[in-house]
Amino acid sequence: MNLPNGYLLQNGKYKLTQVVGQGGFGITYKGVWFTEVRGALGTIHTEVPVCIKEFYFKDYCDRDSQTYAVTVHSETGIQFFDKFREKLIKEAKILSDVHHPYIVNVLEVFEENHTAYIVMEYIAGQSLKSKLEKEGVLPEPCVLKYVRQIGEALQFVHEKHILHLDIKPSNILVDEHDDARLIDFGVSKRYDMEQQETSTTMLSLSKGFASIEQYDDEGTQNFSPCPDIYSLGATMYNLLTGKIPTESILRVTRPLIPPRELNPSISPKTEAAILRAMELVPANRFQSVAEMMASLDLPEIPAEAPRQTPEERDDASLRERATASAGDDDEEDTMLQHSDEETIVSSPGKSSFPGEKDMLSSSAPSKSEKRSYWKIGAAVMVVFLILGWGIWAVLTQRTSGEKRVVAEMEAEEDRVLPEETPSDSIPKPEELEPQTSSPSAAVKTPQPDVEKAPERVETVVPDKPVETPKEDVPAKPEAEESVEEVDIEQKYRSFVASGRGRMQAGDYAGAKADFTAARNLMLTEEVVRLMIDCDAKAEEQRTADRIAQYEEKMSFGAYRIVRKKSDGFYGAIDSEGYEKIPCRYLSVGIAEHGRAFERTDNLFDIYNSKGELITEGATYY
């Protein structure tokens, strides 16, 4: 159940206008932000288009028809909902500090209706997935332009030790200026300076775009740009071929089709970069986005299109744009009605105020002339580049053709010599004439003895196939190789069966060891998914073991007041068995704004339902 159009959030600060998308973890609304610009000329009220994402766990949530508050209908659902909501808020707050021209800005994060909301800037445009579906395979220069922009965004977040972990065409928006914007950091991870993961969100894998290490919970424990580099390469593959790449965990048995087999117009240099970025082993990929960008023939950034961030615009400029919006509301509404369904958020670095487009288009004549000079110069440069590329291609093709002819001639000589030249006619080393400095002497081929030619004709049987010399016989028969492969598969099956048995018996550490051994023999989807399931069950067991240390007494907000079995002290734990209020108190009583926990010195610490200490060392409650 969605919130109705016109619904107000944050006491009227935001108004929802329509639903633009819905998934398993949230509902995305288009809305407006009622704000004002203050300055020497006074206060000017304006409306800024925004995108608001509501956390709504579809499988576990309902909505109260009267209050519109989100409700969860099961104990299991409450645990999942609370866990993911907290992580989503944490990640959104991280991203609210990340500002880049090619990343959609997070403006605000807040809680309301018993759930969380993320306010983002709005983009009038479409996703690359939608563009691919409408226009078909994209031209290589167009793809390289978007890759350059997204690459810059990724370098920026990687410098802050953040991984996106869900790069794909549907998470890249293209605005009305044909610039790419990276969105949806919902499954991102941030790492501290010791390279250990400090934050994470729910597991979400986009088949065909996720790297193989993302299928294993241990694969992304340490910071590395490699998962994002794989996904960026897979995105290029999809945009240039129209095909979703083979899922990484299946590529052992179903190899990836080289992109030029699907689209011969792709340049060899771009294909090489895609294949290296999509190497299964992370160490074989590019080790940074900058290294990947350096391997591509990326287009130059136009000199006439500098991009400003909102912080770079002064207050006077903002007031002028807000004033101009008074007469342009109808035009802005028309533009928004024709925007794509996948329009979600607006571009950072561009004002969201209506009327700005008209303000910017009224340039002085001198600037237009300068722009024309730039265009003419750029056109001349492109012509020279095309001519240079054509000459290089011809020379390269000629050189490669000559090399191919030479290789074919050498191969032909190798095939003919054993059949047509008898062994007794080949001169011995000591019979060979000394080599001279003459080029003809250096390539001189020994000729068979003419007098022995009739013997050669009589001994050769035309219909008899040429026998392969003994030294060319493979050292290892094919039968032995097949036996070895069968042995590997038997060992793999044995480890998998053992791991399944141990997992059923609750020995998750032993099961993980068996599955790891099986994975080292054969990397299959089956064993990767078993490892993920084993890790999940092991975490469930650890949670159950932690909770078993306590006697549960009563609910307290999102927590449970408990009594620790080992020493009898009271406190509160969360759904995963971690102490949110330490178990060091003698008793618990009801206070006016929460619960009063009696200390060993007979004073009281009072906590609210969020587990926050609001009064310390009170004499009474």
- pLDDT, tens digit (0-9, with 9 covering 90-100), for 103-141: 888 888 899 999 999 998 888 888 999 999 999 999 999
Owner of token pair 């069950």: 537
Instruction: Give residue 202's pLDDT band: very low, low, confident or very high (50, 70, 90).
Output: very low
Lowest-confidence pick of 263-277, 278-292, 376-390, 525-539: 376-390
Q: Per residue in 147-164, pLDDT tens?
A: 999 999 999 989 888 888
DSSP string of 190-210, one letter each residue = EE-TTSBEEE-------TTTS
466 pLDDT higher than 50: no
Residue 149 near residue 180 (C-beta atoms within 8 A): yes
Closest of 316, 328, 334 to residue 37, by C-alpha: 316
DSSP string of 220-268, one letter each residue = TSB--SHHHHHHHHHHHHHHHHSSPPPPGGGTTTSPPPPHHHH-TTS-H
Burial 582-613 (b: 16+ CB within 10 A, else e): ebebeebeebeebbbbbeeeeebbbbeeebee
Q: Rounded to an integer, what distance in angstroms lies between the CA atom of residue 215 and that of residue 535?
A: 11
Instruction: Give residue 253's pLDDT band: very low, low, confident or very high (50, 70, 90).
Output: confident
Report the pLDDT value the prediction gives residue 240, as an integer from 0 to 100. 97
Structure tokens at 329: 């509301």
Distances (CA, A) of 32 to 7, 18, 56, 68, 285: 11, 10, 20, 19, 43
5 Cβ contact list (under 8 Å, min separation 6): 16, 17, 18
User: Has this prediction a pTM greater than 0.75?
Assistant: no
Mean local confidence (pLDDT), 52-62: 84
Mean model confidence pLDDT for the chain: 74
Mean local confidence (pLDDT), 311-321: 42
Report the pLDDT value the prediction gives residue 454, as an integer from 0 to 100. 42
Closest of 601, 602, 604 to residue 613, by C-alpha: 604
Percent over 90 (pLDDT), the chain: 35
Residue 555 near residue 575 (C-beta atoms within 8 A): no
Q: Which helix (H) or strand (E) holds 102?
A: none
DSSP string of 489-538, one letter each residue = HHHHHHHHHHHHHHHHTT-HHHHHHHHHHHHHH---HHHHHHHHHHHHHH
Per DSSP, 548 falls in state: T
523 pLDDT higher than 90: no
Structure tokens at 319: 């007031």
Instruction: Give residue 494's pLDDT band: very low, low, confident or very high (50, 70, 90).
Output: very high
